[in-house]
Chains A and B, each alone.
Chain A
Amino acid sequence: MRCAAIGLLALAAGCATVVAAPPAPELPSAAPAVTAAPAVTAAPAVIAPTAARPAPPAKAAREAAKPAPAPTLDVAALKERLRSTSACGVFTKLALKNQMDDLLQQFRAQHQSGGASGVSALRQPYDMLVLKVLAVVQDGDPSLARMISGSREAIWGILVDPVKFNALA
Chain B
Amino acid sequence: MSIHARASALLFAMAMLVAAPAPAAEDPALLKDLTAVLMLLGMPCGEVVSAKRQADNDHIATCKDGSRYRVFVNAEGRAAAQKL
Contact B78–A92 (Cβ < 8 Å): no
Closest chain-B Cβ to A130's Cβ sits at a distance in Å of 13
Q: Which B residue's beta carbon lies closest to that of A89?
A: B33
| 8 Å CB contact of A95 from B29, B30, B32, B79 | B79
| Given A96-B40, A99-B40, A132-B40, A91-B79 contact (CB < 8 Å) | yes
Q: Which A residue's beta carbon lies closest to that of B37?
A: A91
A98 to B77, CA, bound (A): 9
Contact B40–A92 (Cβ < 8 Å): yes
Cβ of A47 under 8 Å from chain B: no
- A interface, by DSSP: helix, strand, loop or mixed? helix
Cβ of A90 under 8 Å from chain B: yes
Cβ of A27 under 8 Å from chain B: no
Cβ of B25 under 8 Å from chain A: no
B40, B71, B77, B78 interface centre (most CB from chain A within 10 Å): B40
- Interface residue ranges of B18-50 to A (CB < 8 Å): 29-30, 32-34, 36-37, 39-41
Cβ of B73 under 8 Å from chain A: yes
- Interface residue ranges of B38-84 to A (CB < 8 Å): 39-41, 57, 71, 73, 77-79
Q: Which residues of B contact A96 (CB under 8 A)?
A: 40
Q: Which residues of B contact A89 (CB under 8 A)?
A: 29-30, 32-34, 36-37
- A93-104 vs B, CB cutoff 8 Å, 1 = contact: the mask equals 011101100000
Q: Which residues of A contact B33 (CB under 8 A)?
A: 88-92
B41, B57, B73, B78 interface centre (most CB from chain A within 10 Å): B78
| 8 Å CB contact of A94 from B32, B34, B39, B79 | B79
Q: Which residues of B contact A (CB under 8 A)?
A: 29-30, 32-34, 36-37, 39-41, 57, 71, 73, 77-79
22 A-B interface contacts by CB (under 8 A): A88-B32, A89-B30, A89-B33, A89-B36, A91-B34, A91-B57, A91-B73, A91-B79, A92-B33, A92-B37, A92-B79, A94-B37, A94-B73, A94-B79, A95-B36, A95-B37, A95-B78, A95-B79, A98-B78, A99-B40, A135-B39, A136-B36
Q: Which residues of A contact B (CB under 8 A)?
A: 88-92, 94-96, 98-99, 132, 135-136
**Seed contacts A90-B33, A90-B57; 8 additional CB < 8 Å A-B pairs:** A89-B34, A89-B36, A91-B36, A91-B79, A92-B33, A94-B73, A94-B79, A132-B40
